[in-house]
Structure 1
């Protein structure tokens, strides 16, 4: 067969045509096959016939998302079986449960015959015999012939205590997330750990004990200089890492000192001025509107929705199908925590009405997707920001750290203010924290129809900002030179 059908088959990952039927097929990595009964691949019928490839796309995405989660959990389980600190902890728990360690060590004695084999002796003999059967009679058995798990068990009983073993940073993070946060790290801690991983890169540093105090200082300097982070951000990173090491040292009964303890944020960052983003002016908006008219695709749609809602970029890119609701005859976006992204704070949970037909059209067109309205590649802040900023730069927005895709949100904020929108409307639309006003729909009595009117009026005021707030290089040629 040739033409469009063949091309479509090639573009859909994990889609297989067999006997006129469509099915999902994905190979299982060799190292995790034991967790899938030794199978080499996963095959699942889609219940569709050849020719229904368009319908298969959504089904495959949903199945593959579940399979990917299973693969990740299996990989973590395989990793845990090789982690020295985890093996040491499991060996201790095994020894205590079998009364080979702890207050009750009766498993080391034979209650009926003082000279007879104990339960531990019986276990050890069986373990050695099984290993001997495996290697044959060509050579004498060595401790290294036993599994790592059995090696740690033997050493634990022999020493009468948990074996001192290094703890990997990855296992420490996983355990910390599970024990402290039910498996889901808060945004600040997730960012801190990700940036530490990135900084360590391909270095040989793998274990918690290998990260020295001087390395910790160097990492803080990296955040200040290479990443240009301000003091408040670095302090949050430092607190997260200090908490991870402190928890791990206590939980795994480690003996080294916390390298993050009593460290201070680099002094230079305390003096670094706060560089606020600016709203776009009218000339900037001419460039962006041209982009929105001429372009198509995911990035264009995100930018358009940002313009008509004032939302944060990830609040849009992380929308789920279930986040689109009808209220008071309006199509609204429910900004809330979902499986694709978190929200900044409690006040960010809100309803934002869509006031422009273009925005409604984008949403209606994307409701045919399964799960998320936008692809997974846009669910990370760094990649999303990079792609949005690349798009506006290509559209002609000057290169400036004060003029980014996030400036759209500042533009809407300024337009709402210029249009005379009530303060509680602005807080309800933008999701700003406010200790005295409960501005969210359903809690503060703000009707979405009222919010829609404020947003509609604001659209006419986008770009109405004084030019003196910009540096010369932030203005376009059509702008007047600022006074």
Structure 2
């Protein structure tokens, strides 16, 4: 360990610093821990099979070498920690690769008994001495050994997984299934998958192996969700939501069975949901008078308290028919007020996805909507988000703004007890457009619905100024 000269009279030793006798360059040299060596091999690391890491620091100056060493040491500490505690999906992949590196086929580990025997010997040699002694004593006295209890806990996760595969006792669990599923899906779909599998694990009270889940348990899981036993409030989950969760789980299990060649049935296929669809509650739109009451309530609020983000959002919802997430997740750059036809540009963002490809669109703004957008820009106070109270670079808090708006709407004069929500405003815009006999294809483009037919996929759609004519005509009746 060479000395690092800090001054003519002060020197310190620098860990992992090494100088070759035949070279003036300095090197980073670090011994690879024994437990990491097989993990490097399984991960395909360039350092696999080597006793230590040696990297040229491209300098002869110890002072310049010191920060580079610190950075490399931090990098390797992090990499080794990830190898010691990998995700379940990565553990499985690396466990299988470790077997292949030993000449063992994970799908047929008994095909090469000699390679398998060498692998077992290697596993035993790397166990702690006390564990080896206990195993030998058990063998001598004819005492059965439980690998899951007596061996696996003393091995790194990847090596333990490789041993389980080699011994034919690897259980493909719900967590394994979920990990593989979300790795191949969008962030939005992955989120639904996590919720669905979270409920399932809560119901089963364990991370159950797929092979040991019974069909009756799946049916009971459906009843459990419908009875509201998944939460403290006892609020049941709607049949359509239960179906969505089951579809997600079914897709994940189907994929797992196919990709991992599991010889098991899919217990989540074609599950019957009692009274499917009968609990669906039709969205009640605002009628003309209720829309006027809503705008009156907004105006009163603004006169007394001034514009705030919730009142800006609800105004834009009422005047555009957009979805709540579409408005709440707007960036300032999505707003175009200086064009001949003011509009908002709805597109995907890292913090807010869109429902489907047809949801990406330009929506014209009425004069009242323009007023609300300008107020929102002022309230945003320089943020890149139009509604920073509810939107960050990571997420868009739809549940929060929805609860705030719904509570406020239901306490306005003439709206109490009407069962109206902020989403009802989207249905109201549909009714307003129908009332002025707006063509269906124009309605679809304004609201982001998919127009049926091959012809609908041709061209770029209706011009923005034409859309604006219909929206202003539709909302003109509200203003009388």
TM-score by structure 1 length?
0.62
Distance 1:372 1:314, change over 3 A: same
Any residues of structure 2 matched to 1:356-435 within 5 Å, and which?
356=367, 357-365=370-378, 366=380, 368-370=382-384, 373-374=387-388, 375-376=390-391, 379-396=396-413, 397-401=415-419, 403-435=420-452
SS in 1 for 2:342: strand
Please report how far the alpha carbon of residue 341 of structure 1 lies from its aligned counterpart in structure 2 after TM superposition. 2.4
Please report how far the alpha carbon of residue 223 of structure 1 lies from its aligned counterpart in structure 2 after TM superposition. 5.1
The question of 1:340 aligning with 2:346 is answered no
Q: Distance in 1 between matches of 2:213 and 2:398?
A: 27
Q: Distance in 1 between matches of 2:346 and 2:473?
A: 22
Q: 2:198 maps to which residue?
A: 197
Q: 1:308 maps to which residue?
A: 319
Q: Distance in 2 between matches of 1:427 and 1:165?
A: 49
Q: 1:462 maps to which residue?
A: 478
Is the 8 Å Cα contact of residues 288 and 395 (structure 1) preserved in structure 2?
no
Please report how far the alpha carbon of residue 385 of structure 1 lies from its aligned counterpart in structure 2 after TM superposition. 2.9
Q: 2:55 maps to which residue?
A: none
Please report how far the alpha carbon of residue 176 of structure 1 lies from its aligned counterpart in structure 2 after TM superposition. 0.9
Q: Which has the higher contact order (CA 8 A, sep 6+)?
A: 1
Q: Distance in 2 between matches of 1:346 and 1:323?
A: 17
Q: Distance in 2 between matches of 1:393 and 1:426?
A: 28
Q: Distance in 1 between matches of 2:280 and 2:322?
A: 26
Q: 2:95 maps to which residue?
A: 91
Distance 1:382 1:194, change over 3 A: farther
Q: Distance in 1 between matches of 2:97 and 2:346?
A: 45
Q: Distance in 1 between matches of 2:101 and 2:217?
A: 40
Asked which structure has the greater CA Rg, the reply is 2
The question of 1:184 aligning with 2:187 is answered yes
Aligned counterpart in structure 2 of residue 148 of structure 1, from 157, 168, 178: 157
Deviations 1:292-351 (CA, angstroms, capped at 9, x unpaired) = 541543322211211221101111112234433468433321122222222223322210
Distance 1:283 1:174, change over 3 A: same
Is the 8 Å Cα contact of residues 344 and 365 (structure 2) preserved in structure 1?
yes
Q: 1:175 maps to which residue?
A: 180
Deviations 1:50-97 (CA, angstroms, capped at 9, x unpaired) = xxxxxxxxxxxxxxxxxxxxxxx99x96897364x7645532221112
Q: Report the RMSD for the aligned CA atoms in angstroms.
A: 4.3
Q: How many residues align?
A: 368
The question of 1:278 aligning with 2:289 is answered no
Q: 1:27 maps to which residue?
A: none
SS in 1 for 2:343: strand
Distance 1:311 1:82, change over 3 A: closer
Aligned counterpart in structure 1 of residue 272 of structure 2, from 246, 264, 271: 264
Q: Structure 2: which 5+ runs fail to align?
A: 1-77, 137-149, 229-234
Please report how far the alpha carbon of residue 398 of structure 1 lies from its aligned counterpart in structure 2 after TM superposition. 2.3
SS in 2 for 1:460: helix
TM-score by structure 2 length?
0.62
Please report how far the alpha carbon of residue 424 of structure 1 lies from its aligned counterpart in structure 2 after TM superposition. 3.5
